[in-house]
């Protein structure tokens, strides 16, 4: 995904974002993720590291209130606000004054948690949208309905004020949030809804008038435009036949995005096939004039799913405000679709770069590479030096644990940033589907590929877009089969209808990852072996409730698990084994 030695300098056009190139490196020192990686250069502290807030001596109220969807339209007369009410020692406001009679804010002998009482008002005119709604302390994902009748449909978000009080506490808590209600589309384009509670996308079957919104679990690839697709739209039929439901076109290099005649032919065929398009502006997103031209050219297309601005801006050390300025321009031009970008680094200016996105992607590539020493540059790799192709990845050979650790890290960062950074942002995965050059000695095997993809799904990924296509026939076949399996309606509805619950096992987390989803009366399990070694013996997975049987197998050998009340048992787990199945 990267082009070594190609770094942003002054860009084109009157609305270009001004930059002198990378911003934290000594003169002439090449960097990636802020770190020197050439053997001729010394290590230095790259900065940009996000650390947890200092631990509080008293419990804090971590209150977050946000619209369930990133956009509502004029034809919608109601909306849902999601409320998360957690007690934290890192993020939030002190629960009480903690002095005198307020030293304890509720009776620990009470039968349930205290109630938080919420009032939500329109900041513009102080009209009350929700009055004194009760939400138990510790609740996650509580939903409150509001009427949109008095909120005008406009291009700018509407500011809302949230005031809260807690039983047994004399102080008042105040935060703000925003809701976006826009006019209905009249240009023929579609609306992509981002579910901020569970992280999934919802789209409409635009070929069927009046059809309801349906969840979409993207499974696809970054696709080479110039070498594979540009001269023949018939390749799109081949691509979709594998089972992929979106396509991410990698633009040619340079300041010009595409030959519009050729790209319009591609978009015509995408509209016909209902193959959703993730539109990539990696080479031009810093040029706001070019961005505006591209968006205006494409926004009325029916198959356009999301915008994609920056490709590894943290690796390239793009201007820290670049993604935000592009995001603001996109919200102005097309507020009906979410904006995405991909990060390559473990922890380098995460808040600044992700401020310009609704969807955060990661591209951890751990297969067939030396994670501690770079043969490419003849240097070691650590938190302040070197580039091994997988930033701050330290799992031993034969393990993909760094994939899970990246999700855990991103979840931590979003938690530390708190409500002031807005609603939670879903993460999508970019599994490695290439190799044989640069850092990676070979492509992944089919077994490794499936494990990397499902480990991402287990840890909350709401979309998979592998790098890159064309790939090997082995990987094309396994990813196509996995795409068809995961995009079955029952599977998609379950994966996107809830968040994964981590299940305890008799093995270390470094060996196995087991998750459960519960939605619409269904229970779906996914169990992934994280290493080539698998298990040394029997595997036991603990369940939150007793089950009777394995219902249906989505992937792998789910029917080889034995049901024992609140446990699932299997004699042995093979290396990188993936089993996905429904239970009841």
For the cut 80, the answer to whether the pLDDT of residue 16 exceeds it is no
* C-alpha dihedral sign at 350, 353, 358, 360: negative
**C-alpha–C-alpha distance, residues 580 and 584, integer Å:** 14
From the list 392, 293, 311, the residue with the least C-alpha distance to 357 is: 311
For the cut 60, the answer to whether the pLDDT of residue 56 exceeds it is yes
Q: What is the DSSP letter of 478?
A: H
Q: In which element (H, E) is residue 164 found?
A: strand 158-166
The rounded Cα 543 to chain-centroid distance in angstroms is 27
Q: What values do phi and psi take at 505, rounded to 5?
A: -135, 175
Q: What is the mean pLDDT of residues 496-516?
A: 97
For the cut 50, the answer to whether the pLDDT of residue 9 exceeds it is no
With DSSP H G I counted as helix, E B as strand and the rest as coil, what are the percentages for the chain, rounded to 5?
20, 30, 50
Q: Does this chain's domain 194-369+399-496 share its CATH topology with 502-583? A: no
CB 305 within 8 A of CB 30: no
pLDDT digits (tens, 9 = 90+) for 107-121: 555 667 889 999 999
pLDDT the model gives residue 422: 80
pLDDT the model gives residue 363: 98
Q: Are strands 578-583 and 522-529 parallel, antiparallel or unpaired?
A: antiparallel
For the cut 60, the answer to whether the pLDDT of residue 564 exceeds it is yes
Q: What is the DSSP letter of 31?
A: E
From the list 198, 220, 200, the residue with the least C-alpha distance to 500 is: 198
Cβ-based neighbours of 264, under 8 Å, separated by 6 or more: none
Q: What is the mean pLDDT of residues 175-182?
A: 97
From the list 174, 171, 170, the residue with the least C-alpha distance to 162 is: 174
pLDDT digits (tens, 9 = 90+) for 320-362: 999 999 999 999 999 999 999 999 999 999 999 999 999 999 9
Right CATH number for 194-369+399-496 from 3.20.20.80, 1.20.1730.10, 3.40.50.1980, 2.60.40.10?
Answer: 3.20.20.80
pLDDT digits (tens, 9 = 90+) for 62-79: 999 999 999 999 999 999
Task: Order across the sheet with 158-166: list the strands.
Answer: 128-136, 115-122, 158-166, 172-179
Q: For residue 446, name the pLDDT band (cuts at 50, 70, 90).
A: very high
First to last CA, the chain: 42
For the ranges 48-57, 191-200, 248-257, which has the lowest average pLDDT?
248-257
Which tokens is 18 given? 């001004």
For the ranges 109-118, 217-226, 234-243, 425-434, which has the lowest average pLDDT?
109-118
pLDDT the model gives residue 107: 56
**C-alpha–C-alpha distance, residues 570 and 548, integer Å:** 16
**C-alpha–C-alpha distance, residues 320 and 47, integer Å:** 13
Q: What values do phi and psi take at 70, rounded to 5?
A: -70, -20
Considering the segment(s) 502-583 as one domain, its CATH architecture is: Sandwich (2.60)
For the cut 50, the answer to whether the pLDDT of residue 17 exceeds it is no
Q: For residue 254, name the pLDDT band (cuts at 50, 70, 90).
A: confident
Q: Are strands 31-32 and 35-36 parallel, antiparallel or unpaired?
A: antiparallel
Q: For residue 12, name the pLDDT band (cuts at 50, 70, 90).
A: very low
Polymer length of the chain: 584
pLDDT the model gives residue 562: 97
**C-alpha–C-alpha distance, residues 141 and 66, integer Å:** 10
From the list 465, 5, 550, 520, the residue with the least C-alpha distance to 250 is: 465
pLDDT digits (tens, 9 = 90+) for 116-144: 999 999 999 999 999 999 999 999 999 99
Cβ-based neighbours of 396, under 8 Å, separated by 6 or more: none
Q: Are strands 464-469 and 219-224 parallel, antiparallel or unpaired?
A: parallel
In the chain, domain spans: 61-67+72-182, 194-369+399-496, 502-583
Q: What is the CATH number assigned to the segment(s) 61-67+72-182? A: 2.60.40.3580
**C-alpha–C-alpha distance, residues 285 and 49, integer Å:** 25
For the cut 60, the answer to whether the pLDDT of residue 189 exceeds it is yes
Cβ-based neighbours of 297, under 8 Å, separated by 6 or more: 260
For the cut 90, the answer to whether the pLDDT of residue 368 exceeds it is yes
Q: How many CA atoms lie within 13 A of 407 on its CB side?
A: 23
For the cut 80, the answer to whether the pLDDT of residue 315 exceeds it is yes
For the cut 80, the answer to whether the pLDDT of residue 3 exceeds it is no
Please tell me which residue, 11 or 464, carries the higher pLDDT value.
Answer: 464
For the ranges 165-174, 266-275, 317-326, which has the lowest average pLDDT?
165-174
For the cut 50, the answer to whether the pLDDT of residue 48 exceeds it is yes
Mean pLDDT (the chain, rounded):
93
pLDDT the model gives residue 168: 76
From the list 545, 578, 583, 576, the residue with the least C-alpha distance to 562 is: 583
What percent of the chain is modeled with pLDDT above 90? 86
pLDDT the model gives residue 110: 62
CB 391 within 8 A of CB 350: no
Which tokens is 231 given? 């001269």
pLDDT the model gives residue 1: 60
Residue with tokens 């000594």: 26
**C-alpha–C-alpha distance, residues 72 and 57, integer Å:** 41
Q: To the nearest 10°, the Cα dihedral for 245, 250, 255, 260? A: -50
Question: Which long-range contacts (C-beta less than 8 Å, at least 24 apart) are formed by 123-126?
Answer: 123/158, 123/159, 123/160, 123/161, 123/176, 124/158, 124/159
**C-alpha–C-alpha distance, residues 44 and 33, integer Å:** 12
């Amino acid at each position: 995904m990267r082009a070594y030695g190609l770094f942003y300098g002054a860009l084109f056009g009157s609305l270009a974002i001004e930059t002198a190139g990378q911003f934290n490196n000594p003169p002439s020192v090449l960097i990636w993720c802020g770190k020197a990686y050439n053997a001729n250069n010394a290590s230095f502290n790259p900065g940009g590291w996000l650390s947890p807030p200092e631990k509080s001596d008293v419990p804090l109220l971590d209150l977050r209130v946000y619209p369930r969807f990133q956009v509502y339209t004029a034809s919608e007369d109601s909306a849902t606000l999601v409320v998360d009410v957690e007690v934290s020692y890192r993020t939030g406001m002190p629960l009480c004054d903690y002095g005198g009679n307020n030293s304890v804010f509720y009776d620990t002998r009470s039968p349930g948690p205290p109630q938080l009482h919420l009032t939500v008002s329109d900041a513009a005119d102080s009209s009350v949208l929700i009055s004194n709604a009760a939400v138990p302390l510790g609740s996650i994902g509580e939903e409150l309905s509001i009427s949109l009748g008095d909120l005008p449909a406009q291009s700018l978000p509407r500011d809302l004020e949230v005031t809260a009080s807690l039983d047994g506490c004399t102080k008042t808590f105040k935060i703000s949030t925003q809701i976006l209600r826009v006019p209905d589309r009249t240009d023929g384009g579609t609306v992509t809804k981002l579910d901020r509670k569970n992280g999934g996308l919802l789209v409409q079957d635009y070929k069927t008038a009046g059809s309801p919104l349906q969840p979409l679990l993207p499974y696809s690839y970054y696709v080479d435009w110039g070498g594979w697709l540009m001269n023949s739209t018939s390749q799109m039929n081949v691509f979709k036949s594998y089972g992929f439901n979106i396509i991410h076109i990698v633009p040619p290099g340079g300041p010009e995005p595409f030959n519009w005649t050729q790209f319009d032919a591609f978009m015509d065929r995408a509209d016909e096939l209902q193959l959703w398009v993730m539109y990539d502006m990696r080479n031009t997103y810093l040029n706001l004039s070019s961005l505006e031209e591209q968006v205006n050219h494409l926004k009325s297309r029916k198959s356009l799913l999301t915008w994609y601005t920056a490709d590894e801006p943290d690796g390239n050390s793009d201007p820290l405000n670049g993604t935000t300025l592009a995001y603001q321009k996109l919200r102005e031009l097309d507020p009906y679709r979410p904006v995405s970008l991909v990060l390559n680094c473990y922890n380098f200016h995460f808040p600044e770069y992700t401020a310009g996105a609704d969807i955060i992607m990661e591209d951890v590539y751990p297969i067939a590479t030396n994670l501690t020493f770079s043969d490419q540059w003849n240097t070691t790799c650590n938190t302040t030096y070197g580039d091994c192709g997988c930033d701050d990845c330290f799992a031993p050979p034969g393990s993909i644990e760094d994939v899970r650790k990246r999700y855990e890290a991103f979840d931590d960062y979003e938690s530390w940033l708190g409500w002031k950074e807005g609603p939670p942002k879903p993460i999508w995965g970019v599994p490695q589907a290439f190799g044989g050059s640069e850092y990676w000695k070979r492509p992944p095997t089919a077994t490794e590929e499936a494990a990397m993809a499902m480990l991402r799904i287990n840890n909350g990924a709401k979309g998979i877009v592998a790098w890159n296509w064309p790939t090997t026939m082995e990987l094309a076949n396994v990813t196509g089969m996995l795409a068809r399996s995961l995009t079955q309606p029952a599977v998609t509805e379950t994966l996107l209808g809830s968040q994964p619950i981590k299940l305890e096992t008799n093995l270390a987390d470094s060996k196995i990852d087991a998750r459960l989803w519960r939605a619409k009366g269904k229970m779906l399990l996914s169990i992934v072996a994280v290493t080539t070694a698998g298990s040394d013996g029997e595997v036991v997975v603990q369940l939150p409730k007793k089950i009777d049987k394995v219902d249906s197998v989505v992937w792998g050998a789910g029917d080889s698990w034995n049901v024992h009340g609140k446990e699932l048992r299997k004699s042995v787990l093979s290396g990188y084994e993936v089993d996905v199945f429904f239970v009841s």
